[in-house]
Structure 1
Amino acid sequence: MTAQAIAELSQVEPDEGASLREEVYLRLSELLISGRLAPGDKVSLRDVAGALDVSIMPVREAASRLVADHALEITPSRAIRVPIMTRAEFIELTRIRKTIEGHAAAEAALHHTTEDLQRLRSAQSSFRTQSMASRPAARRVIGANMKFHFALYSAAGSPLLVKIIRGLWLKAGPVINLSVGQPPNRIAVDGVELHDIVLDAVLNHDGERARKGLVDDIDSGAERILRHGTFQDDPPVKDRGRSFGET
């Protein structure tokens, strides 16, 4: 884990109704979903425990749950890290995301509330501001993108659907880091314009247009990642992944 990710871990908003075990799991999940960890990053249980001021036990249990979710993996050396996908795995994940998240976008267009629209507009405004900055900060762009997507999915009015999508983003979030090296103008042109299409479709209760706009948005990001990302079945690269502290 990077020093920045460790620092951000303690800043994730707590769930007041969650037990300690669940809280640790949710905070680690948020790092993955928000793209603050990248494929190959090693997770130090001691550093996580220190950042959250808890014992090692709930951290180990949370990590075990995430391993069971296939969001983390244990290496032959017993280190815990974010998995590095093969290209085929990423393509399959993208296909599943388009089906499920596209459905959520269509449902959001049909079932949103006034409060949902306010959250969507706010999230898109933040994404536009971060993307169009003269020197965009990649992590802020990625975080704003995530907030727009989940504001959209929440507007579908189905907690179960959001839970399923969160499970997909446990795997997708870190991979989004692979697009960080892209020219900022491409993130702005592609992401902001496609989000605008989705938002306009939701405003006009056009489920099919919202679905297509969301699918196009996922496809756009996936194409950049496939062009510029590093996958498990690519030629070996030196020092893949990052590690700070002991596991």
Structure 2
Amino acid sequence: MIKMSSKLKKVDRSTLSDRVHNELSSLLISGQLLPGQMFSLRSLADTLGTSAMPVREAVGRLVAERALEILPNRAIRVPLMTVSRFLELRTIRIELEGLATAQAALNRNQRQLNRMLDLQRLFEEARQSKEPNGQVAVRLNKNLHFCVYGAAGMPILFDMIEALWLQIGPVLNYDLAINSERLMNRQAHIHHKNMVQGIKMKRPEQAAAALVQDLMSASELIMEKNVLSPD
């Protein structure tokens, strides 16, 4: 079992299972929980400072969302990411996130565009730093993507994308956090820049194409690093 006390925050009892679900979801999406990492219901409840019931409910929701799994010995595990599962998720992400990006180019407002431009600039600054911080890059990358998807103005689509990131986050963002090659790779910055430029100019095809290129280049680097489990 891997201790999680260094990553989880105490949860106010009044928030119960929704707050636990949100906290665990954030850790999964940001790559702070790793594929294959295991923990128990009791240790998780103790770390969060709550009873077992809200944790059990939150874990049950995440199991249904394919973000966690319960093993025969009742341990809770972040699922391993196989090559075939990774490729299937990539195919679905290209369709859904590409649609959201195209819609963002049509529906975004000035405040949302300004936020995208700020996040794009901050990501480039993190990449150019003498000592690039992977955790900062992960946060900026996630915030930029979800800023774009939120600007689409399609809440059901947004929730579907978030569910995909619950599954892909542990391998996608953990690899970005520790892999200096991905962080220093200029392709990510170019794709982000082209995506935001397409949104700025209200060109949905350009924006969606840049998003797809971003997903493809990132996935190819992940597959080259052998961080996926065999089928």
Instruction: Give the TM-score normalised by the residue count of structure 2.
Output: 0.90
Aligned residues between the structures: 229
The separation in 1 between residues aligned to 2:219 and 2:226, in whole angstroms, is: 10
Alignment of 1:156-167 (within 5 A): 156-167=152-163
Alignment of 1:90-101 (within 5 A): 90-101=86-97
Task: Verify: 1:208 aligned to 2:193, yes or no.
Answer: no
**Structure 1: tracts of 5 or more residues without a match:** 235-247
Alignment of 1:187-198 (within 5 A): 187-198=184-195
Counterpart position of 1:9 = 8
Alignment of 1:104-123 (within 5 A): 104-123=100-119
Amino acid aligned to 1:199: V
The separation in 1 between residues aligned to 2:5 and 2:114, in whole angstroms, is: 31
The separation in 1 between residues aligned to 2:164 and 2:182, in whole angstroms, is: 27
The separation in 2 between residues aligned to 1:103 and 1:34, in whole angstroms, is: 22
Distance apart, 1:120 and its partner CA: 1.0
CA contact (8 A) 2:10 2:47 kept: no
Task: Verify: 1:147 aligned to 2:152, yes or no.
Answer: no
Instruction: Give the TM-score normalised by the residue count of structure 1.
Output: 0.84
CA contact (8 A) 1:7 1:51 kept: no
The separation in 1 between residues aligned to 2:188 and 2:136, in whole angstroms, is: 14
The separation in 1 between residues aligned to 2:95 and 2:151, in whole angstroms, is: 17
SS at structure 1 position matched to 2:6? helix
- Higher mean displacement: 86-95 or 130-139: 130-139
What does the per-residue CA deviation read over 1:9-39, in whole Å, with 9 as the maximum and x for residues that have no partner? 3289x9xxx9421111111111111111121
Counterpart position of 2:223 = 226
The separation in 1 between residues aligned to 2:166 and 2:96, in whole angstroms, is: 15
The separation in 1 between residues aligned to 2:24 and 2:95, in whole angstroms, is: 26
The separation in 2 between residues aligned to 1:191 and 1:88, in whole angstroms, is: 24
**Structure 2: tracts of 5 or more residues without a match:** none
Q: Specify whether residues 169 and 185 from structure 1 end up closer, same or farther in structure 2 by C-alpha distance, changes over 3 A only.
A: closer
Counterpart position of 1:127 = 123
Task: Verify: 1:217 aligned to 2:204, yes or no.
Answer: no
Cα RMSD over matched residues?
2.3
| Percent identity for Structure 1 against Structure 2 | 38
Distance apart, 1:221 and its partner CA: 0.6
Amino acid aligned to 2:55: V
